[in-house]
Amino acid sequence: MKEHVYAGIDVGGTFVKIGLVTKDGEVLSKTQIPSQIDQPAKNMLKRAAQTIHDLLKAQKNCKLKGVGIGTAGAVNVDEGILYEAPNMPDWKNEPFGEILSDLLGVPVVLDNDANVAAWGEYAYGAGRGSKYMLMVTLGTGVGGGLVLDGKPFRGAIDAGGEFGHVKLDFNGWVCACGCKGCVEAYVGTRGILRQVREGLKKYPDSLLSKVNPENIMPVDVSMAANEGDALAIEVLRQTGEYLGYSLANVVNLLNIQRVVVGGGVAKAGDWILKPAFDAMKADSMRVPGEIVDLLPAELGNSAGLVGAAWLSAFRSGDL
Amino acid sequence: MKEHVYAGIDVGGTFVKIGLVTKDGEVLSKTQIPSQIDQPAKNMLKRAAQTIHDLLKAQKNCKLKGVGIGTAGAVNVDEGILYEAPNMPDWKNEPFGEILSDLLGVPVVLDNDANVAAWGEYAYGAGRGSKYMLMVTLGTGVGGGLVLDGKPFRGAIDAGGEFGHVKLDFNGWVCACGCKGCVEAYVGTRGILRQVREGLKKYPDSLLSKVNPENIMPVDVSMAANEGDALAIEVLRQTGEYLGYSLANVVNLLNIQRVVVGGGVAKAGDWILKPAFDAMKADSMRVPGEIVDLLPAELGNSAGLVGAAWLSAFRSGDL
């Protein structure tokens, strides 16, 4: 008898990652194709379908049961439509689900990329064993994805999970979204760099003073911290505290068991995660605060792909 | 054939409200008995059971299908246990559910009072028609209750829904819970009075300057606002803005459709609710912000009683 497999697709602005995944989370094979976002979305989906055919052919005894797609941008999960994505400006209201389902003859489910990364970590990564989990992705922006009672949570019109726009200061820094005091404005790339710029006044001899302020990146701050630079350590500690304070909101409101932190900025590791954990505990109410843990993400760049495949298996009732 | 009814019980520190409610939310009869919190909890439950018998006897053709209890304090919903409640200090680890179920021979479900008020407004009050709702109770403290995807939400160990401890200022006022910047520290009774005290420096001729600062209550602020007092109007506007800013966190994270605001302080009405609505909209992301509404609670003091009865009907699968 053939083994059931699910295809996971993770659509980004440059590459589309594609893999075959069992319902136990084993990645049987994976590859990537260029996104070619200047071409119609349908072309990308045709190439993705062909890639899935090729991957299946290379496996023995595998039968495709379903496909999950994660994509940047705003989506309608029930209808499988990508509304729009800032980094793929030519694609609007694209019926990803319908097109790919017609090409492959199996059910297709679409979700946004922050969500599928959360489902991946929940099912097969650092979220394993929890039923109430928040995934936070630290990068240029700050993404979020919620699992509540063992199920993906999206809210009334699939617009929930926006942890990056949980707020920490009524009179605070203005976020890219236009509102004041969002955690993204503090712990996203721009926020960290703003902290560095303001900190250089106090620490003029910091290693970071030698980097062109226009080109400085969070990885420079991590590297400087690893070399013992006081400003860099202070900025990462403060970043962790902002993050932990904001997480306490989610702990008090949702009584989650697990926070998983991924994304490029999270590579700073305990420079950020230790103060984040401590602040989350200190700023939460006693009872929900006692049971919540914080762990680094485990799946790296594969989280979206396996999470999309998991979503397909979850929807099919195969789990 | 006899009509199925559910009993709702709302246990407070002074009185226990008890009523018979149909699954459509009609209150057939209600009454209250003293809580007598200096006596064992079992005595209160015996008197409550007897009261339910009496109410049933007075009805014709009613069959009791189940009982819901809302109580102040921390509870274990699945086991029907009241762990502890600050205003009922002698009652600890009381198996309310088991005791009452033995007395009445029907299933009994227990929940905390902020939650059952939320379930009541959701099922039969200002939350009707929504599937994702936050109930906020403004009083000495600030309570919260969440309905997500049409179901009561409590989190991993029934400790969720604590909207009062969503935070709005990283360096803000210290809350009774010990943490900085909780919305309760700003819009709870103590927070409003702190705003008044600080505001009197700027508005020394305010009507509120004539009230003994030790005895001033939120209702005095509402009354002064109704008489056109500039400080009172400003404090209630600012209170509404704090509330709305904090609500935007919930909108962005949970993509809720409806906020219902009840409790004594909410009697200030549009002095608070209008700026709260405006701030919630302005501080939310565009997509989830567009669909969310804010309404005053409808059920007043009966919300807990009918919500407890609704929970019993919901658990029985009768809805």
The Cα–Cα gap between A51 and B169 comes to 50
The total domain count for chain A is: 2
Overall pTM > 0.80:
yes
- Distance from the Cα of A162 to chain B's closest Cα (Å) equals 5
Q: Are B112 and B129 in contact (CB under 8 A)?
A: no
- The beta-carbon neighbor of B157 closest among A166, A255, A282 is A255
**How do residues B151-178 score in pLDDT, each as one tens digit?**
999 999 999 999 999 999 999 999 999 9
ipTM of this predicted complex? 0.94
Mean pLDDT of the B247-263 span: 97
Mean pLDDT of the A227-239 span: 97
Residues of A with CB below 8 A from B249's CB?
166-167, 249, 253
Mean pLDDT of the A200-225 span: 92
| A38 lies in the same domain as A98 | yes
The Cα–Cα gap between A158 and A111 comes to 9
A265: helix, strand or coil: helix
Residue B229 has pLDDT above 90, yes or no: yes
Residue A309 has pLDDT above 90, yes or no: yes
Residue A50 has pLDDT above 80, yes or no: yes
**How do residues B90-101 score in pLDDT, each as one tens digit?**
999 999 999 999
Residues of B with CB below 8 A from A148's CB?
148, 153
What's the whole-number average pLDDT of chain B?
A: 95
| A309 lies in the same domain as A225 | no
**What's the number of CA atoms in the CB half-sphere (13 Å) around residue A150?**
4
Mean pLDDT of the A184-203 span: 95
- Retrieve residue A116's tokens: 């599928």
Give the nearest chain A residue to B288 (CA atoms).
A159
pLDDT at residue B14 in the model: 92
Residue B86 has pLDDT above 90, yes or no: no
Percent of chain A at pLDDT exceeding 90:
91
Contact A155 B131 (CB under 8 A): no
pLDDT at residue B233 in the model: 97
- The beta-carbon neighbor of A155 closest among B156, B249, B255 is B255
| A100 lies in the same domain as A245 | no
Contact B166 A252 (CB under 8 A): yes
| B146 lies in the same domain as B282 | yes
pLDDT level of residue B108 (50, 70, 90 thresholds): very high
Extended beta strands in chain B, E state: 3-11, 15-21, 27-34, 62-71, 74-76, 81-84, 108-112, 133-138, 142-148, 151-153, 258-262, 293-296
pLDDT at residue B312 in the model: 97
Residue A179 has pLDDT above 80, yes or no: yes
| A162 lies in the same domain as A79 | no
pLDDT at residue A86 in the model: 83
Mean pLDDT of the A55-78 span: 94
| B30 lies in the same domain as B165 | no
pLDDT level of residue B24 (50, 70, 90 thresholds): very high
Length of chain B: 319
Give the nearest chain A residue to B151 (CA atoms).
A149
Residue A58 has pLDDT above 90, yes or no: yes
> To probe the interface with A, which of B158, B252, B285, B290 has the most A CB atoms within 10 Å?
B252
Domain span including residue A133: 129-297
> To probe the interface with B, which of A252, A285, A287, A290 has the most B CB atoms within 10 Å?
A252
pLDDT level of residue A261 (50, 70, 90 thresholds): very high
pLDDT level of residue A43 (50, 70, 90 thresholds): very high
- Distance from the Cα of A105 to chain B's closest Cα (Å) equals 30
- Distance from the Cα of B84 to chain A's closest Cα (Å) equals 12
3-state helix, strand, coil in chain B (%, to 5): 45, 25, 30
pLDDT level of residue B73 (50, 70, 90 thresholds): confident
Mean pLDDT of the B228-240 span: 97
pLDDT at residue A41 in the model: 97
| B89 lies in the same domain as B173 | no
pLDDT at residue A305 in the model: 96
C-alpha distances in Å from residue B296, one per residue of B115, B121, B232, B255, B269: 17, 10, 20, 19, 8
Nearest to residue A268, comparing CAs of A222, A208, A211?
Answer: A222
Mean pLDDT of the B32-53 span: 97
Contact B170 A171 (CB under 8 A): no
| A143 lies in the same domain as A64 | no
Contact B172 A170 (CB under 8 A): yes
Contact A169 B166 (CB under 8 A): no
pLDDT at residue A119 in the model: 97
| B289 lies in the same domain as B160 | yes
| B110 lies in the same domain as B204 | no
Contact B252 A283 (CB under 8 A): no
| A81 lies in the same domain as A227 | no
Query: CATH code at B308?
Result: 3.30.420.40
Contact A255 B131 (CB under 8 A): no
Residues of A with CB below 8 A from B284's CB?
179
- The beta-carbon neighbor of B156 closest among A242, A257, A284 is A257
pLDDT level of residue B283 (50, 70, 90 thresholds): very high
Residue B18 has pLDDT above 80, yes or no: yes
Residues of B with CB below 8 A from A142's CB?
none
Mean pLDDT of the A30-52 span: 97
Contact A180 B144 (CB under 8 A): no
Mean pLDDT of the A86-91 span: 91
**How do residues A28-39 score in pLDDT, each as one tens digit?**
999 999 999 999
| B166 lies in the same domain as B18 | no
